[in-house]
Each structure stands twice: as structure tokens, then as C-alpha cells.
Structure 1
């Protein structure tokens, strides 16, 4: 019996898989990474966390080596991901019209969703100056635009200067980033979120669109899809892991002294599960993401749902698992 080799970042809701608290019929390993694995180049992997944007781009280019399952293991609102200087007068998406905005990668899924926030506010791609680069000096220098055709108002940062340095000295008006720089958490930080109340902005967004944006999902090597039963088992494996993680988090993991109140408020606004798995719960979000990729010039046209997700699976019966 072959071992299924998987890799993903250190998401709390995947720990039960890594710890083998949930099991399937096939043996597996889960390699936990600091960076997102690359299923296209890491030939020793069968299953991996994958950028949603990169996956759509690959499928649009006719590359069918990877097939995604509707398992969005990374989700998040993006209003909070726009930061500015603490003394900046800017406090809305509309205020970024004609401003200088830095971001960590042009085609990234998260930044695509963040630009959607600006597009909704009337700030299109051509209505700002964009600089793409490393967030801080600790981040690796790399090509963060890639082969995507971008307009003239999009360019890499000069001399690889870290964007937080540029923001602090006034060379940028705002920066889009999925993860905050260390200085953001310091007392007296020189940075703050663009939105004065990002939670309110995000709750209003959710009320309009009905979803929390999906950023990374689970991809499988195409050869594995020759056994649809195996794909269903993967759906159920990840679903059981998320269920165990949620139960333990409610009892054992205090992320903040206000943990109970935060969880209760989250449920009141977003329901019992703000990161649902399966096709039906994500079809609306998937459609909206394709719209953004086309409107922002990341891909030239939409794909049929059956081409993008050949297996529109839903979680089924729980797998064998230990008690939470």
C-alpha cells in the first residue's frame, strides 16, 4: 500500500491530520512547512496546500497536472490586510485613489481579493501606483510579478527596498500584506490598519457577498484523481480534522484573553462555520474569484466550473477519529 505524501503550512486545523488523530484507509504523511509547498515542482508530493490564483492560472493555461478539491484551508478577510502609517489621514478604500500602494505579490490570491476591495470602492488597477516587493528586510527577494502582463503603473520596488521602510519614510501611502510585520504589534507602532474599524467593514462585506474569501486550497496530483474514492476520502479526512480542531480550540486554546467572547461574536455574525469545505458552500466564492482574476487581468477568460473543479465533492461521512 503506497503512502500518500502531503504538505501544508502549520494551520491549526490540520494538526489532527499531522498527529494522526484522524485516519483513512490509506497511510499518509503530512509535512508541515513554513512556506507554501509547490505541487507542480515537488514531485515527491501527492497532495499539497496550493495558491488558488496559481491553480486557476495553471488550468487556464491548459496545465492539468494538478486538480484542486474544494478544501479552502486558508481563508481571510482582506480589509485588515491594508496598512498605512499611524499618522496617515487615509482611512477608506476610496481614499487610495491615485495613491502609491505596495503589495507582496501581484498575482497572489490574497492580494487579488484585496484589490477587489478597492475595485468595489471605485479604485481600479489603473487608478493607483503599485509597487511590488518584499515586506521587510527579512523576506526573500524574488520575482513577485512573474509572467503576468501588468500595466505601466505596476513595477517592482527599486533596489529591493523593503516596503515597510518605504511606508514609514513616506514613499508609499499603504501596503497590502497577508501577514503583519513585527513592528505592527509593537506598543506605539508607526503602522495601523487603513480602516479605522476593519471588523465592521468586513462584517458589512460578508453581509453583501456571503463568504469569507478563499486564498489557498488543497491540490492533488492528477494521477491520484484516477481513484475518485480516494479524493472523497481526502475530503473527509480534512473535514474531520477541522471538526476536531474546532472542538479543541473551544476548550483548550486561548489565543486571546477574550477568546470565548470573540468566538461567540464570530458565530453570531458568520454562523457555525466560517470556513466551510465542499463545492456547494464555495461555488459563489469561486465564481467571484474568477470574476476578479479576469477583471484584474490575471487571466484572460473564465473557466467552466467543471474544468476548474472536475470533482465537485462534498464532505460525507466522518472518518474514524479520536475524542476531542
Structure 2
């Protein structure tokens, strides 16, 4: 019998590159790997039926997840993750010095109400600082460039939260620069902050690395932004989900082992100065598998995001890892 054909969409990260260049294959699967310069295009294609297995933002996955009849199930593969205290920016003249100062302010958010970094940081603000989304007014748009509405996924807004969208000619970074909004929560860093051309925009957490490292030490959570989704009818094909999971895991492990192996030569192949010191610090804090896949290693982080999504009115039921992952992969370490 011929191997099942799969269209697999994923961004071309260094830890997925072995899938594209053929160093890692999916046993028993005739897989066609596809990517896009805009990761949201991969999400859209999956949502509209153009892919069988795909990288999917957590909130995009959950907005389409119906516990009674889900179109997709999740694989415990997390190709994109990042600490997100660094995603909060403020106008330097706004008087916002602490997270608590965000209450009563107008905050921009990238692309949609509740993008993945937004869900994480709204949850952190509520849990750790007592600031909840209903205490702010939200303005949705593009950071440095206008973005079209993501009208291919549901966009719920809970009662009691004020949300408006920018028009086609406006950007959030411009409004932050002029003080028309007080803060910005965005996966994209304003370009003017990157190139040093502004004195009006700064991060809320100035020493964000120290804050994020402390957050990990206290919680053990390394926030994931994306997972890999599979169509529900394919999730029941014997061995298929396991093959996809093994391939992604092997690709990621190849990259991790490369960094471990070249540590003895002070990472001569890496273009970033002082990378070896950063690598050693991260390895000491995050462990030998600093980018873990599998349910058990990620259960606390996943369940925390699921709780945040529910508390922020973006999911109707409160879900857990057992609800969303392919059952045969629930025992993965």
C-alpha cells in the first residue's frame, strides 16, 4: 500500500531545516514540505483546508477547536516559543513605569485581540500584577505596517472589554510614538526602536532578560507560541501522528546536538560574538533539552495558556492538554 500523502506547512526555522533538506524524513509518510515568508499564511492555509499538518498559532488553533467536533488535533511539537515580557512597549512620556500603571490606559495589540504573545502577557499581567484586560482599552492593527483583518478565524471579544480596529492607513507604532496610545503589546518590535531613531518608545520591562529568566526560575514555563496541528481524520490513521512527531523531534534534536558538540570549539561556526557564554547560561537554566517537545515536559505551560485563553473569553470551555492533543501522544515525555 502506498504511503499516505501529506501536505505539511511549517516555517523554515533552523530546527525544522532538517525536514526540508532531507536529513530527516517521516517514516511511512509521503510528505511535501511547504513554507511561507509570512507565518500567518501557513495558519490561513491550514484554516482554509489547504494543508494536512501545519504549524499553527495556539490561539488560532483554539479559536477553531470545538471539543465535540474538532477539525484539528494538536501534536506536542512547539516550533515557535519565546518569553514575552519583552513584547510590551510604552510611550516614554506616558508615565507608565510599572505593569500596574497600565490600568486605565489605551494599549495597542498586533493583528487581533488575543494574538499569542498577547494571551500570554495578559495572563501574566493578571496573575502577577493584578491588571486585567477589562481595565484597558485595546486598539488592534499592524505594528509598522497596516495588516488586513484576519477574517478567516473567529475573533471573539468578551463582554466588558473595549476593542477597536485601526483604519487601513494607521499603524500602532506611529500612534505609540505620538502618544495616541500609551502602550503596545506586539510580536513585532517597532522598527524605530530597533534602529534607534526614536526616544519616545521603550520597553516596559527595560531589563526584560532578567525579568524573563526570573519568571522561568519561578514558574518553569517557557512560553510556546505555536504548536503543530493535524486534521482530525488523519490523527486516527495508525502510526501517522507518531511518525510526524518523531520526525520533528529528530530534526530539533539534530540542531540541539550541533550546538552541544561545537561548544568545545567556542561555537566558531556561529557569527554572534560571545555566543558560547549565552549558550552556557541558557543550558544551565533551561537544561540539556532547552526546547522540549512532548506533553509531559510542556503540560504546565500548555495548561496555563489554555487557562489564560478561557479567562480572557477566547475559549468557551476550559480545556486541558488531554482535550487537545492526539490521544496516542499523551504519554510523550
User: TM-score, length-normalised on structure 2?
Assistant: 0.86
Q: How is 1:78-93 mapped onto 2 (pairs within 5 angstroms)?
A: 78-86=84-92, 89-93=95-99
Could you tell me which runs of 5 or more consecutive residues in structure 1 were left unpaired when the two chains were aligned: 317-324
- For structure 2, list consecutive stretches of 5 or more residues without a partner in the other structure: none
Aligned partner of 1:130 in structure 2 is 138
Q: Trace 1:168-187 onto structure 2 (pairs within 5 A).
A: 168-187=177-196
Residues 161/288 of structure 1: CA separation in 2 closer, same or farther (3 Å cut): same
Q: Who is 1:298 aligned against?
A: 314
Segment of structure 1 superposing worse, 185-194 or 112-121: 185-194
- Structure 2 residue aligned with 1:52: 58
Q: What are the residue-to-residue correspondences of 1:104-253 with 2, within 5 Å?
A: 104=110, 105-120=112-127, 121-137=129-145, 139-143=146-150, 146-150=154-158, 151-158=160-167, 160-190=169-199, 191-249=201-259, 251=267
32, 44, 51: which one aligns with 2:35: 32
Check if 1:71 corresponds to 2:71.
no
> How many equivalent pairs are there?
315
Cα drift, residue 56 of structure 1: 2.1
Offset at residue 28 of structure 1 (A): 1.7
Partner of 1:320: none
Does the CA contact (< 8 Å) of 2:133 and 2:161 recur in 1? Answer: no
Offset at 1:159? 5.7
Residues 94, 123 of structure 1: 8 Å contact kept: yes
1:87 shift after superposition: 5.5
RMSD across aligned positions (CA): 2.4
C-alpha deviations, 1:87-109, integer Å up to 9, x for none? 55433322212121100121322
Q: Is the 8 A contact 1:112 1:293 kept in 2?
A: yes
